[in-house]
Structure 1
Amino acid sequence: MAFSTILYETVDGVARITLNRPERTNALNQTMLSEICAAMDEAEVDEGVRAIVVQGAGKAFSSGFDLKEQMERRPTGVAQWRPLLRKDFDTVMRFWHCPKPTIAAVRGPCLAGACELALACDMTVATPDAFFGEPELRFGAGIVVMLLPWIVGPKIAKEIILLGEDRVSAERALAIGMINRVTADDALDETVTRMGRHLAAIDPELVKQTKRALNRAIEAQGMLEALESALDIDLAIEGGGSPDKIAFMDIAREKGLKAALAWRDARFPERMP
């Protein structure tokens, strides 16, 4: 299958999905979300694929869901937002529910929806220059996939989400359990490839059932229901249109996304330590 926003290849039992919009910091637009799902469909039915790696082209993993596309499409109201958020949510959760192990390989920014995608993967490996965050509240948006508290606990999740932190370093992400490893930039590809090949050498049914058991340990605490409830809350936020988000998007349409980001940042002149 030909893709326009991602690259897909399989080598030695490992499928590799590359988010391929480097000119837009690999922002997740609607086309890319559809192509990610198509690639996951292909990887899941391919008996030769035993593990899946997702990465970003160039110097970034991804800046998150595409705000420029939102600016141009102008969705308003719950009815228009519902299918968009459902697609965002379901695409991210493909990596959690996938019967095969998933690995995120992260360079540079990994923010908002992209951060949630990396959290949904079974393992995440990052370079020292990688940084993570959930900046949505700082410009009036909600959280689509509220995975963070299930990964790092409620106290740290509240700090990151409510403060809109967008510069969680790889070192801190490792310390709080957002990621598994930090490796040198020139060793990232080799590291995730070796992990994928290692997984590929194990009986796939054993890996599938063990991943299911590991996921169930968290899901039994009510995670899936809580995620759906959080999605409903985000739908109400986006469908209702917060004043901050309306102002942000108006500036973006009139003066461009960089001006809107500058407006956002000017409201928070003191960066949190």
Structure 2
Amino acid sequence: MTDEPVLLVVEDGIAILTLNRPDNLNAASAAMMRSLAQRLEAVAQMPGLQCVILTGTGRAFCAGGDLAEFEAALEAGGSRLIDTLRANQDIIQMVEDLPVPVIGAVNGVAVAGGLEILLCCDIVIAAETAMIGDGHTRYGVVPAGGASVRLVERIGPLRAAQLFYTAALIDAGTAAEWGLVNEVVSAGELLRRAGQLAGDICRASPEANRHVKALTGRIARDDRRAERIRAELDRFATHLLGGDLAEGLAAFREKRHPRYIDGS
């Protein structure tokens, strides 16, 4: 398989985007996010496009941001980390802004930034072995890809709070019960089922589907939604003044449990 960080295959009006850093659990490195942005730009302009499937290779859909890169950006100082987070937020928004239905096919772990990408999908199909959660706070990270807004929209404030505050992962069956996943299938059936749904979408009116997507997508959200998503970056900038992020990233690098000190 090619080492391109995001693969793209298009057939019969269906674009399949595959996150392709399996050795790193498809962690969202700067290179992968740039590649994803390029692919999304190309897909959004494709004539005859009717559906997009988004999935990953290997054991994970996406394990979130590349924390090694986060640590390097933190150590570099200045606005480098916030600039990276802003760029990632914009790229994740591109998934939600696609003009056609998007099917997320969760092949494995989807956590933090991986969850934030899934929250921009219109339909989510998960392999029965998939584990899904927010997970940011485990390593002292504040959500910065829209989870603080989209997760509450998707599953309500109580269940969102559980995922945010515990950093725990839930299995695919629980995710379906909570309304985070439409269907759970065997791992071997995941892409076949996603393709079947995409085929059903393609047999419907493409013009009508685009209108429905516009009506049910971000155009239908309240005017302050984008502002609330951007507020994550302001909160993250404040978070940089504390020590938990540096400790969390060091713990990730050293493969140990973080040792947080409550300085409130």
TM score, norm. by length of structure 1 = 0.86
- Give 1:3 deviation, angstroms: 7.5
- Give 1:39 deviation, angstroms: 0.7
- Give 1:72 deviation, angstroms: 3.6
Q: Distance in 1 between matches of 2:90 and 2:219?
A: 21
Matches within 5 A, 1:209-248: 209-216=211-218, 219-220=221-222, 222-237=224-239, 239-240=240-241, 242-248=242-248
Matches within 5 A, 1:1-273: 4-75=4-75, 77=77, 79-144=79-144, 145=146, 146=148, 147-165=150-168, 167-216=169-218, 219-220=221-222, 222-237=224-239, 239-240=240-241, 242-251=242-251, 257=253, 259-260=254-255, 262-264=256-258
The alpha-carbon distance between structure 1 residues 169 and 84, as it changes in their structure 2 partners (threshold 3 A), is same
Task: Please tell me whether the aligned partners of residues 150 and 223 of structure 1 are also in contact (alpha carbons under 8 angstroms).
Answer: no
Q: Distance in 2 between matches of 1:78 and 1:218?
A: 36
Task: Please tell me whether the aligned partners of residues 78 and 235 of structure 1 are also in contact (alpha carbons under 8 angstroms).
Answer: no
The alpha-carbon distance between structure 1 residues 77 and 71, as it changes in their structure 2 partners (threshold 3 A), is closer
Task: Please tell me whether the aligned partners of residues 71 and 246 of structure 2 are also in contact (alpha carbons under 8 angstroms).
Answer: no
Per-residue Cα deviation, 1:27-70 (whole angstroms, up to 9, x for no partner) = 11011111111111111111132111111112211111111222
Which blocks of at least 5 consecutive residues in structure 1 are unaligned?
268-273
Q: Which amino acid in the other structure matches residue 52 of structure 2?
A: I
Q: Which amino acid in the other structure matches residue 162 of structure 1?
A: Y
The alpha-carbon distance between structure 1 residues 235 and 196, as it changes in their structure 2 partners (threshold 3 A), is farther
Q: Runs ≥4 in structure 1, deviation > 6 angstroms?
A: none
Per-residue Cα deviation, 1:238-260 (whole angstroms, up to 9, x for no partner) = x43x31221233455xxxx2x34
Query: What is the root-mean-square deviation of aligned Cα atoms in Å?
Result: 2.1
The alpha-carbon distance between structure 1 residues 40 and 204, as it changes in their structure 2 partners (threshold 3 A), is same
The alpha-carbon distance between structure 1 residues 26 and 223, as it changes in their structure 2 partners (threshold 3 A), is same
- Give 1:217 deviation, angstroms: 7.8
Task: Please tell me whether the aligned partners of residues 125 and 185 of structure 2 are also in contact (alpha carbons under 8 angstroms).
Answer: yes
The alpha-carbon distance between structure 1 residues 70 and 106, as it changes in their structure 2 partners (threshold 3 A), is same
Q: Which amino acid in the other structure matches residue 82 of structure 2?
A: R
Q: Distance in 2 between matches of 1:25 and 1:226?
A: 29
Q: Distance in 1 between matches of 2:44 and 2:251?
A: 42
Task: Please tell me whether the aligned partners of residues 70 and 81 of structure 2 are also in contact (alpha carbons under 8 angstroms).
Answer: no
TM score, norm. by length of structure 2 = 0.89
Per-residue Cα deviation, 1:219-272 (whole angstroms, up to 9, x for no partner) = 1274333222233212332x43x31221233455xxxx2x34x223x88xxxxx
1:49 is paired with a residue whose SS is: coil
- Give 1:92 deviation, angstroms: 1.3
Task: Please tell me whether the aligned partners of residues 97 and 218 of structure 2 are also in contact (alpha carbons under 8 angstroms).
Answer: no
